[in-house]
Every structure is written in structure tokens, then in C-alpha cells.
Amino acid sequence: MKFVGLVSGGKDSIFNILHSIRQGHELIALANLYPSSGKDEIDSFMYQTVGHDVVSLYDKCTGLPLYRREISGLSENVQLEYSRTANDETEDLLELLKEVKENHPDVEGVSSGAILSNYQRNRVEYCCSKLGLISLAWLWQMDQSELMGQMCDVESMDARIIKVAAFGLNIKHLGMKLQEIYPHLLSLNDKFGIHVCGEGGEFETLVLDAPFFTEGYLELVSQEMVDHGSEVWFLKMKVRFVERKKAVDDFSTVVAPPLLHGPFVEYPVDKFVSTQKPVHNQVLPLNLQSDEDHVFISNISSQGETLERQVLDVFVALSTQLQKHGIEFSNIQSSILLLQSMKDFAAINTIYSSYFTTPLPPARICVETNLARSTKLQLSVVALKSSKSGVHIQSRSYWAPCNIGPYSQAVSDSEGVTMISGQIPLVPASMAPSPQELEIGLSLQHFDSVKKLVAANKDQAVICFIVDTAYIQSVLQCWKSYGGDEKRLIIVQVSSLPRGVGVEWGGYSTKGQDGFLEVEFFEQTINTSDDYHYTVFHNPTQPIAIDIPFCSVPVLSVWKCATQVHAAAIKRYLL
């Protein structure tokens, strides 16, 4: 795709452009935001501004158009999830990208250098979503020591320290190249935990040369050290443009990390065993349960004559129940969306999306399974009476797939119980399905990556959806290598998964606590308690005896390790 590179002058934005080019995308323009006249540095939560005058020469260096806009807004909205706010500096970025798109209608992507900052990434994604652009954030969640080492390996990238603001960094480090200061940064990280890439604001850099500076580079003429107060120093540089005599081709060290890493490896899949989706007419009633903080609205379906009528009926019913409890769609933590046919996904998703327009939509599991003959979809949700938190990542990166629908990767309630959306084996950089031998390990790796990002590392109930029982042995082998608890794993067979993949991992984790959820396997009768909400995975052609309202997830078969069982339940303790 053709993309615009957001450049602050710092190493991260430049290195992300290198990765974008390395991924086969075409850089067609640069864009930069700068402070008002006479200012070198401003207190911005979003932008690096030291060295902005040097950035004005990047068009000469690259031979590409450089779009610049003065920062007029402030950090008015400091919420993690951004929504439109008058006089906020994010709106300056939106206007800048509008100008780029007006001049380059074929631009599709926006490159930015976010590594750890959810604040920065979220705001770039907000602007991209408004303009129909794709955020490219290849450095997202990369190990900082390794990342800095990779930057140093690009010999033709000349990045200098232009600002210092941390213990162990002082005036003598100003002007140093990355390769010179890298060992000292590693030492400071080891002793004091400072961020090797400066993600805590410890230092900032300015790039004078890079592999995509095809027309020339910047040569330092003079520099002035400025005391910014409170042990913060920065450089004012004077540079001159030097025309390049020889082309630079130094992309060989810019490489993507391995697709699989750690305990995640390839797993072969045995020959498929064909399973016919059974036909039945069991339609369970809408069920309601609630506790101090949750409202469980389960088994919402419709018998409308058309697909659109059924989807609208489902959401009218959901809206009615939310209103009865005094909450809104924005309060929904998670949803389980079951489809009669995955062919209907796009049409259903269009309507589904229209109800989730605020930041941090629900985490979601979506599968095709054996609903009643007349039912096109069934929806169950968990809504919260208090606040929620989570991650809704829309940027392309190497980390894990960006969301491909109106859902968040993970959403936590006030107790730290976290719903992890169903993770399918997509290659994050391209968002294409992986080869079959990578499916099991890659999708579980994505599940693990999301868990770690939200610090919900204590598995409570994990569901592995498969489309064929041939996956079971390899799923169990992968789960064991991962160190997963077999008592927490439910394997269920469904008829189809999004994008035609064979495996999807999803479920619930907590931030260190136990006791909120349990997994129980059972035969025809389940011993119930009013102290729990039950999500039951079962084959609807095989009756089960349960005497309280429950969330039904009809499937083709249910497995406890390698043994097929009648049904399985996730029991969630009611507060």
C-alpha cells in the first residue's frame, strides 16, 4: 500500500518507515507537526518537537513532499481511549492527515513510531479510522533492548541524542550517536530500569541520515546546548543539506521478528475427519442474571423472516434489557456471537458495528455453529454496572493481529476478570491466514500476547475452537508446551471460524486472582448453584438437565483433553 510517514525527527518514526518499506509498502509523503513560532520545545503528550526546524529539510533529503502543520491544540483529553475533543492536539494531526489525503487520494496507510505508548497509538488510530486509513506501527510492543540494537545495526541511519531528561544522562551525552550511547543505555537499564528506547521520556533523538534519504543527508554545522531546567538539556542544531553522490541501500538489517517465538512452534494436523452439522429446532429463551457489577443477557435470537430482521430484532431486545438495568451499549464487556452461516458474517457485522461506536467496544468470540434451523444468529453479552478497561488495537504490527471488526482484544471488569477475544491465526503484518501447520501455535501465541499486554496472566477458562477433531492432539501438545492447566481448557468443535481458519483461542483470565471462574465437565445432568452464572458448551441434539438460566453455546462436540464429553460449563461466581 502507499503510505505517509509521520516524522518527528526521532529514531522511532524513521525506523518504523524503514520497516514499512521493508514490508513492501511505498512511501509517498512525509508529515510533521511543529510548535508555534519561536518555540523549540512544548509540553506535549503526543509529539516530539525538539529539532523540528531540522525536519523541515526532510523533503530535500527524500525527494518526497513534506506536509507540515503548526500545533494549535493542547492535551485537553488525556483519557487513554480518545474521542473527539475541541482544541486537543490530536485534532491537529487529523487536519494534517486530511491535507495529505486530499493531495494523495491513493494513500492507504500511516506510519508512526509508537512502541509502548497506548496513548500515542490510540490517537493515531483515531485519526486513521476517521479517514479510512490503516495505522502501521511495526515497533509496537517490541523488546526495547533488541529494538535499539537493530537500530544501531543500520549503519546508514545517523541518529543523535538531542535531549536528555533522566538520571544517568547529562549534557555530555548530547550529540552522541545511537551506536555510541547504546552500551550506556543498557547499563542504565540494568541498574535503574530506564527505558532503553527512551519510552519514559529519558531522551530524544534527531535523525540526520537514513536509508530512504535518497537525495542527500544533513551535516551538522554547529550546535548549542540549552538548559531547559530541572536537569533537562537539549540541543539546538544548525545543519546543511548535502547532496548524495552514491545511492544508499542499507535495508538488509531491517528484518521482521520471527512469526513464532518462545514455546510456540509448528504443529502438524492429521487427516481431517468430516463431521456433519446436525439439524435441530431447539431455541432457548432469553435469559437474565445479574449481580452487584454484572448483567448477563444470554441467548438473544429471533425468528424473523429475513437475516436483517433477525439482527435488528436481536439488538432491539438487547437494547431493551440494557435500558431496564440503566446501562448502555458502551457498558458491555464481552459478547459471544453465534452464526448459522459464516457467509452472513459481513451483513451481520455491519449492523453489529452500528451499535458499538464509542471507544473500547466489547471483547468478542464469533463462530459458526449449529443453531436452530430457523435461527440466523444468537447473541449473549456481559454488561458492567461500573467501569471497564482494556485494549482496542487497530494498528498493523508484528505483535498480534489488529482488530478486524468492532471488538477489543481484551476487556477487564473492576475485579480484573478479563475477556480475551477469540484469536485466530492471522499473520499480523499482512493480516492473512497462516499456513495450516502454524495455526495452533500462532493463534495461542496471539492469545498469550494479548494477556501479557493487559497483565491478565492467570488463566481461568480457555476455550479452543476447532473445525475438525484432527486438531485435538496437536492442540493438547501445544497447550502442554505452553504450560497451560488442562483443567482450565475446553476444546469445542464448531462448523466454521472467521476467515476460514481451523483454530480459534479465547476465554477468561484474571490479573492474579483465582475464584472468579471455574470449568466443569459433565454428562447429562449439571449440579447447579444460584451463586454462579453458567456458560454451557453442548451439542443441542443431546439434551442436558439444568434447572437455572444459562448462556447456551451450541457446538458439534465438546472435549476434555482427548476425551469427548457431554458438555462443559464456565461457572462465573456472582458477586
With a cut of 90, say whether residue 276 has pLDDT above it: no
Whether 41 shows a pLDDT value over 70: the answer reads no
Mean pLDDT of 58-76: 91
Question: Quick one: which of 201, 16, 7 has its CA closest to 117?
Answer: 201
Domain assignment of residue 23, yes or no? yes
- Name the residue among 487, 418, 476 with its Cα closest to residue 447: 418
* pLDDT above 90 coverage of the chain, percent: 76
Which of residues 243, 267, 299 is at a domain's end?
243
Q: Given this model, what pLDDT does residue 515 score?
A: 76
Say yes or no: 202 and 118 in one domain.
yes
- Same domain for 183 and 317: no
Closest CA to 547 of 574, 569, 567, 525: 525
Q: What is the pLDDT of residue 199?
A: 87
Which one, of 421, 426, 425, 511, lies nearest residue 462 by Cα?
421
Contact 408, 392 (CB under 8 A): yes
Domain membership flag for residue 282: no
* CATH code (residue 13): 3.40.50.620
Region of poorest pLDDT, from 275-279, 283-287, 535-539, 561-565: 275-279
552 lies in the same domain as 423: yes
Instruction: Tell me the average pLDDT across 73-91.
Output: 82
User: Cell triple for residue 292?
Assistant: 452487584
Domain extent for 205 = 2-243
| Percent share of the chain, pLDDT over 70 | 97
Q: 575 versus 267: which is more confidently predicted?
A: 267
Has residue 271 been placed in a domain?
no
Tell whether 263 is covered by a domain.
no
Whether 255 maps to a domain, the answer reads no
The answer to whether residues 336 and 463 belong to one domain is yes
Distance CA 436, CA 79 (A): 40
Residue-level pLDDT at 1: 97
Strand segments, DSSP code E, in 442-566 are 458-466, 489-493, 503-510, 517-522, 532-538, 551-554, 557-560, 563-565
Instruction: Please check whether residues 317 and 433 belong to one and the same domain.
Output: yes
* Closest among 331, 338, 377 to 355, alpha carbons compared: 331
* pLDDT reading at 153 higher than 80: yes
Q: Phi, psi (5° rounding) for residue 527?
A: -80, 115
Q: Of 222, 243, 264, which marks where a domain is finished? A: 243
Same domain, 305 and 230: no
- Residue type for position 493: Q
Predicted pLDDT of residue 40: 58
pLDDT tens column, 446-492: 999 999 999 999 999 999 999 999 999 999 999 999 999 999 999 99
- Mean model confidence pLDDT for the chain: 92
Give residue 38's pLDDT: 61
Whether residue 548 is found in the same domain as residue 480: yes
Between 40-49, 315-324, 420-429, the lowest mean confidence (pLDDT) is in 40-49
| Greatest C-alpha distance within the chain | 82
Confidence of residue 245 (pLDDT cuts 50, 70, 90): confident
Shared domain for 475 and 365, answered yes or no, is: yes
Assess if residue 487 is contained within a domain: yes
**pLDDT exceeds 90 at position 226:** no
- The Cα 272–Cα 274 span in angstroms is 6
150 and 291 fall within a common domain:
no
Final residue in a domain of this structure, among 243, 267, 297: 243
Mean pLDDT of 400-418: 92
Yes or no: say if 423 and 447 are a contact pair by the CB < 8 Å rule.
yes
Position 175 scores a pLDDT of 94
pLDDT value of residue 479:
97
Examine the pLDDT at 85 and tell me if it is beyond 90.
no
Instruction: Return the higher-pLDDT residue of 358 and 30.
Output: 30
Structural domain contains residue 198: yes
Burial of residue 156, with CB atoms counted within 10 A of its CB: 0-12 exposed, 13-18 middle, 19 or more buried: middle
Q: In what order do the strands lie in the sheet with 216-229?
A: 203-209, 158-164, 232-243, 216-229
φ/ψ region of 24 (left if φ > 0, alpha if ψ in -120 to 50, else beta) reads left
Task: With a cut of 80, say whether residue 506 has pLDDT above it.
Answer: yes
Cell of 88: 486537543
DSSP 470: G
Task: Look at residues 142, 127, 42, 45 and name the one whose alpha carbon lies nearest to residue 93.
Answer: 127
Q: Which of 408, 398, 453 is nearest to 431 (CA)?
A: 398
Least confident interval from 318-327, 341-350, 514-523: 514-523
Model pLDDT for residues 186-211, shown as the tens digit of each residue: 999 999 999 999 988 899 999 999 99
Q: 238 and 300: one domain?
A: no
Does residue 273 belong to any structural domain of this protein? no
pLDDT over 70 (residue 39): no
Q: In the predicted model, is pLDDT for residue 563 greater than 90?
A: yes
Same domain, 454 and 327: yes
Domains contained in the chain, number? 2
Are 76 and 195 part of one and the same domain?
A: yes
Q: What is the CATH classification number for the domain harbouring 395?
A: 3.30.1330.40
Q: Is the pLDDT confidence value at 317 over 90?
A: yes
